[in-house]
Amino acid sequence: MHKSWLNDEFDKLDAFEMEEIVDNADKTMNKCIRQLKEKDVPQIKKIGEIIKEEVIDFKQYVPMGMALRTDGMKDRHWEAVSKKVGFEVKPYPGFTFQNVIDMGLVKWSEDIVEIGDRAGKEYNIETTLAKMKRDWEGIEFRLKPFKNSGIYTTLGFDDAQAILDEHMTVA
């Protein structure tokens, strides 16, 4: 997966999968090295330690990858990243995670994670508001004559109240 993460198109990078695999690899290598310490196999233990170091070296990039692949990263967020690092950072055709690493963006990882978190929160608000708007589009109030009095009553309050209650719990 390592080669795929580094070299595939950036928009194909599944950062959550990457985080899970790297965390599992870290735990697995810890177990392997512990078990290999108990056995007399120094060459195999050395290979395990090398792999463990490679996992640790790559692990530092995972939060940055997750932040940059957050749903909701828009031009304004890429501009914020660019402003923070002092040069343009924006995906283009052929852009890969290796490009991110080569740019040295890990130095600004905390700032990038903060921008990614903000983008994710904005995205959640935008999608929630869009769903709420769609929910209200089907609500209609109708007038019904009340007997022969010339006065009308309004129908549809129950549906509106149910949606309002649901949206108030979401907000």
Q: Tell me what pLDDT residue 140 has.
A: 85
**Stronger pLDDT, 165 or 21, i.e. the higher one:** 21
Give residue 159's domain range: 138-170
Domain match, 146 and 128 both = no
Look at residue 171 in the predicted model and tell me its pLDDT. Answer: 58
Average pLDDT, the chain: 90
Do 77 and 32 fall within a single domain?
A: yes
Q: Same domain for 72 and 144?
A: no
Give 20's pLDDT tier (boundaries 50, 70, 90). very high
pLDDT surpassing 70 at residue 170: no
pLDDT at 134 over 80: yes
Q: In sequence order, which residues have a C-beta less than 8 Å from that of residue 48 and are 6 or more positions away? A: 29, 32, 33, 36
Q: Given this model, what pLDDT does residue 145 score?
A: 87
- Number of domains observed in the structure of the chain: 2
- Residues 57 and 126 placed together within one structural domain of the fold: yes
* Per-residue pLDDT tens digits for 81-123: 999 999 999 999 999 999 999 999 999 999 999 999 999 999 9
Q: State yes or no: pLDDT of 38 exceeds 90.
A: no
Least confident of 9-18, 22-31, 136-145: 136-145
Question: Given CA atoms 85, 67, 168, 134 in this order, what sign does their dihedral have?
Answer: positive
Q: Where are the alpha helices (DSSP H) in 11-108?
A: 15-37, 42-59, 62-68, 75-85, 97-102
pTM (two decimals): 0.77
Domain shared by 48 and 93, yes or no: yes
Query: 103 and 70, same structural domain?
Result: yes
pLDDT, residue 39, reads 80
pLDDT at 59 over 90: yes
Three-state secondary-structure class, residue 96: strand
